Structure 1
Amino acid sequence: MTITDGFVSVGQYLATRLLQLGVRHVFGLPGDFNLNLLDEMATVEGIEWVGSSNELNAAYSADGYARVGRCAGALVTTFGVGELSALNGIAGSFAEHVPVIHIGGLPARASMDSSAPLHHTLLDGDYGHFVRMFREVTVADAIIDEATAAGEIDRLLVAMISASKPVYLGVPLDVAKAPVSARSLDVPLAPLASDPHALSAFAVALSREFADARSLVVLAGPDIHRRGIERDVAELAELPGISIASQSGSKAILDESHPSSLGTYLGATTRNAESRARVDDAEHLVMIGTAFSDFTTGFFTHGYDPASAVELALDHARIGHAVYPGVRLDDAVRALRHAAELAPLQVGPVIEPVAAASRVTVEGDSALAHDSFWPEIQDWLEPDTTIAAEAGTAFYGVLDLDLPERSDLMGQPIWSSIGFTLPAIFGAMLARPDRRPVLFIGDGSAQLTIQELGHLYAYGRNPVVFLLDNDGYTVERKIQSPDARYQDIVRWNWDLVPAAFGADDISVLSASTSAELQTALSRARAADRGAFIRVVLPKYDAPRLLEVLARGISEVNKH
C-alpha cells in the first residue's frame, strides 16, 4: 500500500483497519460491484483474499474464523444476490454473538441516486431493500461516501468488537477508490470501555456478596471465547473453592481433566449427576458469558435460578436483581477474581469424573453404531485440535466426550443451521493453523455446503473429516415421522466426492465395522495431507444426548 500525501483509498483504509484488529483473511466472492474494492484491498500487504464457493459458505467461514481467532471475521459480497445468499450466516453470527463484518460492494452512487434499473435490483429504484434486511441481524450499518468513509468504518468496527455481533458496510463502486486521510490509522481501535462508576460499584457489591462465601460455582458460556478471556477463566480455576462447568457452546473452555472442572452442564441430561447437582444447588452461582436457551439448559431442565445468580454479560453485570449497565465482561471477570481472592473460599471435594463414552465390547466385523463409534473417537483424539461438530448426531455425540488438552469444540447450538460446520472449520483452520482441524458432519448436512470441501483440503492444514453416513436426517427421524419421505436424501457416492472437489491426494477411507474404523483412524493419524472418512451408521441410531434432545423437541412440538 502506498500512502500519497497522507491519503489512502477507502478500500486500503478498510483493509488496514481489519489488519489492525487481527483479521488476515477475508472471505467472499467477486462480483462486478465489488471489484474496485477487492483491487484496493489487495494492495495492502498482510490481507489474504480467500475465495469461497458461495456467499453462504463465506459467511460461515468468517464466523468460524472469528470464533477461534480471538479477533473478527470479514466477508465481501456483491450487491443483492450475493448479500442475500450470506444473510443466513450473518443471522447465525448475530444469534451466537460472533463479530463479523459483512462488506457489500454496491453500484456507483450516481446509479443509486438516479434509481437506475440495474441488474441485481428489484427494478423498483429502491436501493435500500437489502441494507434494511440486514438491519435486523446486525448492530450497526452504513452505506458510506467519500466524506464519511473513515469515520463510518471506524464506528462500525468499534460497534462490532464491542457488542460481539455482526455489522454491515455498504461500499459503492466509485467510493472504494476514493481517497481518504490516513491520519486516523495511527489511532488503534478498541472496544468500548466499562463505565468506571458502574464498575466500581459492582466490584464493591461483589466483594460484599461473597464476603462469607465458602465456595463459588462458575457456569462458563460461549461469550468468554468472544472476548478471548479463556486464560482469565482458567486462572479462576486455580483459586481454592471455585468449580467451573461449561455450556455446550463453550465445552472444554477449561481442560476437562482439571480438578476444578465440572464438565459440560446440560440440565437433566448432564452426564455427571454430581456435577449437575453442584451447579443446581450452588450457594453462589456465577454465570460468565452464558447463553440461555432450550438447547443449553437440557430443554429447561436446569435446577438453578438465573435471576438469583451473579451474571457477567458482554455489556453489563448483575447481582441478583441489581444491574450494573456498562460493565464489560473482561473487567467483570477481573473484579470477580479480586472478590474471590478476598473471600474465605475453601477447597471442596473433587468430583470423580464419569467415563466419557463407555466402551462397548464388539467383534471386529460387527457393524458400527454410535455406542461403538464414539469410544473409538475418544481414544483417537489428540491435544491441540479444533473439533467442529455439526448440529445433530455429530454435535451431541462429541458433547459426551472428554476433549484433549488445548482443544476446542466448535458448534452452533443456538442457531443450529445445518451445513454450518464444514465452511466454519475451514475458517477456523486459517485462524488457528497451530491446531489440527477435525470435522464430524452428517450426510444430510454435508450436502448443503459440500462445495467448501475443496478449499478445506487445498489450504493444507491436514484436516480430517468424518462423514457420518446414516442415510438421511436422523435427528428429524427421532423427533417425528421417522419413515416419512422428507427424511430421506439422495444417496451420494461419498468415496468419489473429495476428488470431485479437487482433493485427489488425500486419504479417502470408509468404515462400516469396528475393525475398519480402527484401520481408518490409524491411517488418518499418519496422513500427511488430510483424510476423509465415511463412517456408515444405522439410519435410526443416535447418541445418548440426541435421543434426549429429540424427545424434548417432540414434547414441545405437541403443544
Structure 2
Amino acid sequence: MTTIATRLIARLRELGVEHLFGVPADYNLDLLDQVYASELAFVGTCNELGAAYAADGYARLRGAGAVLTTFGVGELSAANGIAGAYAESVPVVEIVGAPSTRVTAARRPMHHTMADGDFGRFERLHAEITCDRVTLTADHAAEEMDRVLRSCWEHKRPVRIALPTDLVHAPAPPPDEPLLPEGHAYPSPAPLLAAFRAAAAGLLTGAARPAVLADHLVDRHDAHEALADLIAAGRLPAAVMNMGKGVVDESAPTFAGMYVGAASAPGTRAVVEQADCLIAVGVLISDGNSGGFSHAFPPGRTIEIQPYEARIGDAVFPGLPMPDALVVLTDLVKGGVRGQLPRLPAREPVAASPGAPLTQAVLWDRFAAFVRTGDVVVAEQGTSFFGVVDTRMPAGVDVVAQVLWSSIGYTLPAALGTCVAAPDRRTLLAIGDGSLQLTAQELGTFARAGACPVVIVVNNGGYAIERAIHPTDAPYNDIAPWHYADLPAVFGAGDHAVTVRATTPAELDAALALADRNRDRMVLIEVLVGPEDYPGRLAAIAARRRAAGQAVAAGPG
C-alpha cells in the first residue's frame, strides 16, 4: 500500500534526492522509520542548522536537497539555512514532523509550541523564506505534495512540507504521472522564440566586441551546457560574477576573469564594460558582487537572460526559459559573430623562503596548484573566499560559496553535503577559524558519513575580514584560541582523520602532499597566518570601503 510517507519519499527520489539530512525528534520518528525502510539514506547531523547547510551544499551538486526537522524548535534552528537557500536560489525541501491532526484540531498546548493552540505560526514564518509550503492533510496530501515539490524544482528555492504524525501511515494514491516533465523542461512557444531571436539579432549582427557575463543562476537552472555551446560557437570572451565562479570553463582561452565592477582586473573590466553586445546570463546584482554597485554594463547593448525571462533594451520576453534563450543566441552567433579572446596575465608563482612565516599570498598560491580537475571547492565567505576567488580553476571544478547570504559557518556543513552528494569527487574546504567555530561539531559527522574532504583551516586569530574593513584595537574580533588540529579527535573521527599544522611554506607543501597521499581519509590542515595579513583582493576592497566611509563621514566641502 502506498502511504503519504512512502509517496513523499518516492517523489523526493524523482527530484534526484538520495539522502536526507536532519535530526531525529519525537514528531518525525515514525517518518524516519519509513525512511530507513526505503532507498532514501538518512544522514544525522549535530543540529538542524548543520542539516540545512548540508542539504544546501548537496543541492548545489545534485539539483535538489532535503532536510528533516521537528516542529517548532527544529525548524527554527534550520531557518537560517533555509533563508540562505532562498536568497541564493538553492532548491531544498524542508520536511517538518508535525503534531497530529487530532492535537491541532483540539488546539492543545503541546511541547515545541507557544502553548496557545496556534499551530500555524511556523508555516506563516516560512512564507518569508520559502517559495511554497503546505501542511499535508489526509484528503489532499498527494496533490499538495506534488504542487509544492514542483514549485521547488521550477523556482529553485526551498519549500516546507509538514507531515502530521498521524498521517505518516495514512493511505495515499500512487502517482499517475511523473513529478517533472519529460526532459525536465516545458517547450517554449514558437512566437516567443521568434520575437526574441529578431530582437537579439539586432544587437548581435555586426558586433565586433561581443562578450558573455555569467552568474550563479546558470548553475541553478542547469544551463551549463547551453552556455558552453554559446561561448564556443563564437569564441566569446566570458567573465563571471563572484557568485557564479565555476559556471564557465576557467581553463579555456575564452575565460575573461571575474567581474566585480570597479574592483575587477583591468582586462576583465574592459571585456565587460566595452562590449558592443554583452550577454548577461543569470546575473544578480548585489553590493558584494558588483564592487559596491560600481558595475557598468553597456547601456542599450545588453541582452539579459534570466531563468524565465529575457530583456533586450525595453523589450521583455516573459516565460522564456534560460536554456532556450541560449540556444537561440548560439544559433545567431554561429552565423558569423566572433569575439576577441581576452588577455589575462599568467599566474606567477609566489616566491618564499621555505622556513619563512606563512602568508596568505603563499597559501593561495599553493592552493591554486593543489586543485585538480573534478574537485569541489567550498570556500567560506571570509578571507578564504577572497583567497580562492582569484584561483583560475581547472576544468570540471565546482565552486560552492555563499556570497550573498554570507552566513559564517555555512561551508563546513555544506562541505558535508558535497561529500555525500559526490563521494567520487574530492571536496576541498577552505574556512577561517572564526567561521569554523560556529559549526565545528559537524567534523564528527564527516567521519560518521565516511566523507574524506581536505579541510584547510585558516588560523589568523579571529574575524580577519571584519578587521580588514573596520580596523580597531578593540578585542571584539578576537576568538578563543582553539587547537584546530585536535578537533577531529575530539569529535570522534579517530583514525578516519589525518591532521597537521603548517606555519611555513615548507610545512604547507608537506601538508598538501600528505593530503594527496590520503584520499581515503579526512585531512585537516591548520594553517597559521598573521592576524592582519589579507588576500590581495580583500585588502584592495577594504581600502576602498574605508576611503568611501571616510569621505561620507567628512561630508560635503
So what's the TM-score if we normalise by structure 1?
A: 0.94
| SS at structure 2 position matched to 1:180 | coil
Deviation at 1:378?
1.5
Deviation at 1:536?
0.2
| SS at structure 2 position matched to 1:50 | strand
Residue 557 and residue 192 in structure 1: after superposition, are their counterparts in 2 closer, same or farther (change >3 A)? farther
In the alignment, is the contact (CA less than 8 A) between 1:14 and 1:41 conserved in 2?
Answer: no
Deviation at 1:41?
3.1
* Match in the other structure for 1:519: 510
The answer to whether residue 241 in structure 2 is matched with residue 251 in structure 1 is no
Deviation at 1:402?
1.1
- 1:340-394 CA deviation, whole Å, 9 max, x = no partner? 223x31353x3232234x4332222110111221111122222211001101100
In the alignment, is the contact (CA less than 8 A) between 1:224 and 1:289 conserved in 2?
Answer: yes
Number of equivalenced pairs: 547
Residue 129 and residue 553 in structure 1: after superposition, are their counterparts in 2 closer, same or farther (change >3 A)? farther
* Match in the other structure for 2:296: 303
Q: 1:269 aligns with which of 255, 263, 268?
A: 263
Paired with 1:187 and 1:442, the residues of 2 have a C-alpha distance of: 41
The amino acid of 1:298's aligned partner reads: G
| SS at structure 1 position matched to 2:289 | coil
- The within-5 A match list for 1:378-389 is 378-389=368-379
Paired with 2:438 and 2:235, the residues of 1 have a C-alpha distance of: 46
Deviation at 1:414?
0.6
| SS at structure 2 position matched to 1:137 | coil
The answer to whether residue 356 in structure 2 is matched with residue 366 in structure 1 is yes
Paired with 1:383 and 1:192, the residues of 2 have a C-alpha distance of: 30
Q: 2:435 aligns with which of 426, 438, 445?
A: 445
* Match in the other structure for 2:195: 201
Paired with 1:477 and 1:100, the residues of 2 have a C-alpha distance of: 34
In the alignment, is the contact (CA less than 8 A) between 1:36 and 1:174 conserved in 2?
Answer: no
Residue 117 and residue 493 in structure 1: after superposition, are their counterparts in 2 closer, same or farther (change >3 A)? same
Structure 1 segments unaligned to the other structure (5+ residues) = none
Paired with 1:86 and 1:549, the residues of 2 have a C-alpha distance of: 32
Deviation at 1:294?
1.2
* Match in the other structure for 2:91: 99
The answer to whether residue 220 in structure 2 is matched with residue 226 in structure 1 is yes
Paired with 1:137 and 1:186, the residues of 2 have a C-alpha distance of: 27
Deviation at 1:148?
1.0
Paired with 2:192 and 2:514, the residues of 1 have a C-alpha distance of: 56
In the alignment, is the contact (CA less than 8 A) between 1:252 and 1:263 conserved in 2?
Answer: no
* Match in the other structure for 1:210: 204
Residue 285 and residue 147 in structure 1: after superposition, are their counterparts in 2 closer, same or farther (change >3 A)? same
Deviation at 1:113?
1.2
The amino acid of 1:458's aligned partner reads: R
* Match in the other structure for 2:486: 496
The amino acid of 1:199's aligned partner reads: L
Paired with 2:16 and 2:300, the residues of 1 have a C-alpha distance of: 36
The amino acid of 2:14's aligned partner reads: Q
- The within-5 A match list for 1:275-424 is 275-305=268-298, 308-342=301-335, 344-348=336-340, 350-356=341-347, 358-424=348-414
Deviation at 1:483?
2.3
Paired with 1:109 and 1:74, the residues of 2 have a C-alpha distance of: 24
- 1:118-145 CA deviation, whole Å, 9 max, x = no partner? 0000111111111111100111111110
In angstroms, what is the RMSD of aligned CA positions? 1.8
In the alignment, is the contact (CA less than 8 A) between 2:460 and 2:531 conserved in 1?
Answer: yes
Paired with 2:444 and 2:230, the residues of 1 have a C-alpha distance of: 41
Q: Identity of counterpart residues, as a percentage?
A: 38
In the alignment, is the contact (CA less than 8 A) between 2:409 and 2:435 conserved in 1?
Answer: yes
Paired with 1:291 and 1:306, the residues of 2 have a C-alpha distance of: 17
Q: 1:508 aligns with which of 496, 499, 510?
A: 499
| SS at structure 1 position matched to 2:128 | helix
Deviation at 1:481?
4.0
| SS at structure 2 position matched to 1:364 | coil
In the alignment, is the contact (CA less than 8 A) between 1:154 and 1:189 conserved in 2?
Answer: no
Paired with 2:408 and 2:484, the residues of 1 have a C-alpha distance of: 18
Deviation at 1:188?
4.2
Deviates more, 1:167-176 or 1:332-341: 332-341
Paired with 2:549 and 2:42, the residues of 1 have a C-alpha distance of: 44
- The within-5 A match list for 1:138-177 is 138-177=130-169
- The within-5 A match list for 1:523-542 is 523-527=514-518, 528-542=520-534
* Match in the other structure for 1:427: 417
The amino acid of 2:511's aligned partner reads: A
The answer to whether residue 120 in structure 2 is matched with residue 128 in structure 1 is yes
In the alignment, is the contact (CA less than 8 A) between 1:281 and 1:303 conserved in 2?
Answer: no
| SS at structure 2 position matched to 1:105 | strand
* Match in the other structure for 1:466: 456
The amino acid of 1:440's aligned partner reads: A
* Match in the other structure for 2:555: none
Structure 2 segments unaligned to the other structure (5+ residues) = 553-557
Residue 186 and residue 219 in structure 1: after superposition, are their counterparts in 2 closer, same or farther (change >3 A)? closer
Paired with 1:59 and 1:159, the residues of 2 have a C-alpha distance of: 19
Paired with 2:57 and 2:545, the residues of 1 have a C-alpha distance of: 27
In the alignment, is the contact (CA less than 8 A) between 1:241 and 1:347 conserved in 2?
Answer: yes
Paired with 2:501 and 2:195, the residues of 1 have a C-alpha distance of: 60
Paired with 2:126 and 2:50, the residues of 1 have a C-alpha distance of: 17
| SS at structure 1 position matched to 2:233 | coil
Deviation at 1:253?
2.1
| SS at structure 2 position matched to 1:351 | coil
Residue 183 and residue 297 in structure 1: after superposition, are their counterparts in 2 closer, same or farther (change >3 A)? closer
In the alignment, is the contact (CA less than 8 A) between 2:237 and 2:342 conserved in 1?
Answer: no
The amino acid of 2:42's aligned partner reads: W
Deviation at 1:226?
0.6
* Match in the other structure for 1:62: 55
Deviation at 1:225?
0.8
Deviates more, 1:503-512 or 1:227-236: 227-236
Deviation at 1:200?
3.6
In the alignment, is the contact (CA less than 8 A) between 2:210 and 2:339 conserved in 1?
Answer: no
Residue 446 and residue 374 in structure 1: after superposition, are their counterparts in 2 closer, same or farther (change >3 A)? same
Residue 286 and residue 522 in structure 1: after superposition, are their counterparts in 2 closer, same or farther (change >3 A)? same
Deviation at 1:552?
4.6
| SS at structure 2 position matched to 1:181 | coil
Paired with 2:210 and 2:157, the residues of 1 have a C-alpha distance of: 30
Residue 111 and residue 307 in structure 1: after superposition, are their counterparts in 2 closer, same or farther (change >3 A)? farther
| SS at structure 2 position matched to 1:33 | helix
